[in-house]
Each structure stands twice: as C-alpha cells, then as structure tokens.
C-alpha cells in the first residue's frame, strides 16, 4: 500500500466512530527551474505530504488541511477538526458521504518525468533559450509527480497518480516580447526549442509596434487566448453553483454557441493530465458541456447535485463549497485549419498571442475586460503586416462564440496557459468575426 493510502487509513482510524469523515491525502514532488536574462537563477523542489480532512457531526461540518503527518500530528489535527465541527451551525446543504464505488483506473503517469532532475529541466531551458539567439529569455520549466488517495467512513476508497510538465517563457528585445508555452504528461514530449522559437519569432516581429484605433475587429486568437475564454466559461458558466445562484449564462438545451463549438471534460482521454476522481472520491467520466453549439450539461459536486436533485459529475475540489465545481480536463474540439489559413481569411483584423489580467464585469453575460500581451499584430489582406501595441478589450466571451461568430478553428489544439494557470485546458486557435477593443493598455 502506498504512503497516501496509509495516510488516509491512519487518519480515518484516528477519527474512529466520532464523526462522519472523508480524507484526501496528497503525496509527491513539484520541481521548478526558473530562468531570466537567458540564465537559470533558481531551481527548487517541494516535497508534498498533505492531508485534508472533512468531518460532520449531525450536520455540523468542518474541514482543514495539515502537513504534520506523524501519528501525533494527525491525532492533534483530527481532534482539532472535530472540535471545530462541534461548534459550527448545522449545514442544511450537507450532502453526506458517498458509499463504496468503482472507478476507472487511469494512469496519466510518466516515470521519467516523475524522476526528472535539475539537469533534465535545464536541458529544456537551454533549448528554449538557444532558439532565441541574441534575445533575452525568461520563464520556467516545471515537472510534477503526485499520488492521491481518498477514503471515507462510508467505505469509499479510491487512489491514483499523475505527472505534468510545463515549459513557459518569453523572449525579449529592447522594445518587445513574445511568449511560448507547452504542457504535457511527459517532459520528453515537449519540444522546448519549438516553444522558444515561437516566442522568439513573436518578439522579433513585435519590434516597432504602433498604436491602432479601438473598435470591433475580426480576430485570430491563439490557444492561450481560447484557453482563457474556456476557463471563464468553466468557472462562471458551467459551474452548477453559479447556475443555482442565477449568475450563469448557461441555458441548457439552447444553441448558445456556434455549431462548430463542442466543449467537454474527460479525464479518460489519453491526452488528459489529472485524476479520474475528485476530492469527494466521486468517479469521473466524460461530460459534454457544449455539443455542436448547444449547452448540454452543468458541472456538479455532491452539494450542488443534492440541491438540483441530480448526481455529482465528479468536479469537487477542497474549496468547492465556496467556489463550486471545476473542470480540470477541459477540451475544445479542434478544426482543420492551419494558423496561416485562419489569418488568410481576414482582410483587416488582429492576431492576439496572449490575454492578460482578465476580469469579469458581468457574470450573467460573461462580459470580461482584459489586455493583450506579448505579441499583438495587425492583419491586412490575409497577412500579418505589423505589430500593434497592447490593447484593452471589453467583450462578452459567450457572444464572441455565438452562432455565426466562429469563422474557423485551428488544427493546433494543445494544453494552453490560461488566466487561471496551465495544464487543464486543451484548446486550438480560432478566428472570430468580432472582438471589441476599447483602448490601449493604459485604459
């Protein structure tokens, strides 16, 4: 039995019959190699051994997390959590614990990545930096290997493991910067040189950027931009808690998106990166959120499912009581167009490499304001002609993908960095009919 399973069983034994309890144990290592001015300046590794406990005493619920995982530490931790629960008011929405369940044993795990040392990450950094000869590179290479186990006093027991690798960075000239990003289960599957070459090209092409007038433009958006759109749809739309609070744009069964848009969450996909169960031990399977433009499903935890008289879709996280469910294996269907073909279809428009500092103005319509960054370019007569300075936009992400607004989808889908981080949105480039730029980066 692995360490994480032992931690779950030991914690449940300490709880005994004093309360309903569920335990999530997380064991592993996250390693990060950072570089700036084209030199590595930091290499750190964090060994993780963490236990999260939630207990319920006749509907009085409390949860807490500890890294003090000796028997004495766990005993103090359990006692304190139970004592806290005893002082809580009854949680009328407490959904109880799920009983024994089967789950799909999926292993998104790469042994080489799990044991990657600083040299392996340094080689990826070297490839990124070397691709931008004469430029200054900055960014990071990260590898992660985690094992998690869940158990509760109702008899549910599940466990799994995963690895991830990320290469992310920019190349800089004295007056411009360009970005590149890649993420995968295995570090060996990432071409860090290609990531660096894209960042270098964007940086060089960005020299001499000029202002352009605000207005509504046709756009080609990179996978990073589409990933940011998708994560906002995820958090503010398909989140059943947002729907319950009447803050979501989602109307199930309606054609809210262009017919070319399909979005789903699926940990069983061979490209996925995380676990086939959530923090409540609920097994995950494919959930179609948008099918050919039609909104079809919401994401649920046990709490939201109880309120909606349905079942959990397996999208709970330790803080879901506050924020609601979250999909971490989200896929957007790709098309068959190259980026060059997407650009060629525009007489006058803008190509955007990255969004930055996006904030919701109206959750119900998902109007978001944000900035472009690290590579924004004017498109004229089907070609990129010159760089433009960073621009502010104010745009409904739902309207941007509404019926008739999606003019083309790229064949370049990959795990892309989003406003909320990397590794959980697999997205392609897209050409959209309209994007509302409201000013320069200053306002």
Cα(278)–Cα(280) distance, rounded to whole angstroms?
5
**For the residues 104-123, what does the mean pLDDT come to?**
94
Assigned token pair, 116: 């990657």
For residue 89, pLDDT over 60 is answered with yes
Share of the chain above pLDDT 90, in %: 96
Query: What's the whole-number average pLDDT of the chain?
Result: 96
Return all residues near 72 (Cβ < 8 A) that are at least 6 apart.
Answer: none
For the segment 66-77, what is each residue's pLDDT rounded down to a tens digit? 999 999 999 999
pLDDT at 132: 97
Contact 177, 395 (CB under 8 A): no
- pLDDT at site 154: 97
**% of residues, the chain, pLDDT over 70:** 99
Query: In this predicted model, what pLDDT tens digit does every residue of 320-349 receive, in sequence order?
Result: 888 999 999 999 999 999 999 999 999 999
Which pLDDT score is estimated for 440?
Answer: 82
User: Over 70: is that where the pLDDT of 209 sits?
Assistant: yes
Cβ atoms within 10 Å, residue 83? 12
Cα–Cα distance measured from residue 345 to residue 383, given in angstroms and rounded to the nearest whole number = 9
Give the pLDDT band (50/70/90) at residue 318. Answer: confident
pLDDT in tens, 164-184: 999 999 999 999 999 999 999
**What backbone phi and psi angles, to 5 degrees, belong to 87?**
-95, 5
Q: Kindly report, as residue ranges, where domains of CATH 3.30.2290.10 are found in the chain.
A: 3-202
Average confidence (pLDDT) over 278-305? 97
340 secondary structure, DSSP code: H
Is the pLDDT assigned to residue 1 strictly greater than 80? Answer: no
Mean pLDDT of 6-29: 98
Give alpha helix (H) positions in 155-262: 192-205, 223-236, 240-244
Give pTM, 2 decimals.
Answer: 0.95
What mean pLDDT comes out for the span 406-410?
A: 98
Q: What is the pLDDT of residue 441?
A: 67
Alpha-carbon gap, residue 26 to 442, rounded angstroms: 43
Helix/strand/coil percentages in the chain, nearest 5: 25, 40, 35
- Is a pLDDT exceeding 60 seen at residue 302? yes
Residue 27 has pLDDT above 60, yes or no: yes
Query: Do residues 178 and 170 touch, judged by C-beta distance below 8 A?
Result: yes
In eight-state DSSP terms, residue 307 is H
Select from 3.40.190.10, 3.20.20.70, 3.30.2290.10, 1.10.3720.10 the CATH code of 3-202. 3.30.2290.10
Confidence at 248, pLDDT banded by 50, 70, 90:
very high
pLDDT confidence tier of residue 61, bands split at 50, 70 and 90 = very high
pLDDT, residue 217, reads 98
pLDDT at 443 over 60: no
Q: How confident is the model at residue 106 (pLDDT cuts 50, 70, 90)?
A: confident
Which whole number is the average pLDDT over 293-304?
Answer: 98
Q: Which residues lie closer than 8 Å to 164 by C-beta, 6 or more apart? A: 113, 142, 143, 144, 183, 184, 185, 273, 423
């Amino acid at each position: 039995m692995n360490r994480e399973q032992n931690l779950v069983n030991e914690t449940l034994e300490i709880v005994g019959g004093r309360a309903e309890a569920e335990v999530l144990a997380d064991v592993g290592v996250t390693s990060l190699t950072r570089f700036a001015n084209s030199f590595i300046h930091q290499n750190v590794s964090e060994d993780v051994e963490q236990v999260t406990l939630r207990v319920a005493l006749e509907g009085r619920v409390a949860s807490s997390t500890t890294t003090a995982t000796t028997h004495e530490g766990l005993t103090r931790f359990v006692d304190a959590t139970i004592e806290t629960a005893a002082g809580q008011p009854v949680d009328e929405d407490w959904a109880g614990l799920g009983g024994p369940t089967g789950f799909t044993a999926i292993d998104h795990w790469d042994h080489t990545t799990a044991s990657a040392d600083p040299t392996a990450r340094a080689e990826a950094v070297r490839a990124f930096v070397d691709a931008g000869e004469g430029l200054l590179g900055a960014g990071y290479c990260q590898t992660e290997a985690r094992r998690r186990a869940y158990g509760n006093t109702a008899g549910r027991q599940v466990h799994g493991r995963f690895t991830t690798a990320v290469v992310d960075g920019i190349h800089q000239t004295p007056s411009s910067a360009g970005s590149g990003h890649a993420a995968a289960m295995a570090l060996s599957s990432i071409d860090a040189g290609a990531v660096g070459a894209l960042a270098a090209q964007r940086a060089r092409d960005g020299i001499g950027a000029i202002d352009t007038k605000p207005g509504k433009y046709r756009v080609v958006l990179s996978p990073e931009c589409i990933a940011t759109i998708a994560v906002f749809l995820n958090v503010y739309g398909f989140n059943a808690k947002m729907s319950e609070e009447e803050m979501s744009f989602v109307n199930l069964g309606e054609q809210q998106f262009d017919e070319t848009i399909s979005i789903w969450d699926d940990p069983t996909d061979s490209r996925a990166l995380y676990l086939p169960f959530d923090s409540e031990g609920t097994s995950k399977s494919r959930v179609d959120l948008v099918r050919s433009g039609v909104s079809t499903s919401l994401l649920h935890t046990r709490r939201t499912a109880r309120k909606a008289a349905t079942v959990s879709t397996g999208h709970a996280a330790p803080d879901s009581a506050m924020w609601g469910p979250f999909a971490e294996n989200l896929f957007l269907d790709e098309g068959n167009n190259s980026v060059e073909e997407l650009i060629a279809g525009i007489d006058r428009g803008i190509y955007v490499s990255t969004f930055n500092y996006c904030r919701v103005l109206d959750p119900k319509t998902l109007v978001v304001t944000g900035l472009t960054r690290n590579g924004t370019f004017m498109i004229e007569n089907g070609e990129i002609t010159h760089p433009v300075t960073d621009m502010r936009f104010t745009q409904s992400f739902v309207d941007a993908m509404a019926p008739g607004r999606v003019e083309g989808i790229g064949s370049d889908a990959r795990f892309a960095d989003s406003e909320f981080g990397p590794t959980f949105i697999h997205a392609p480039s897209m050409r959209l009919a309209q994007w509302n730029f409201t000013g320069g980066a200053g306002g």
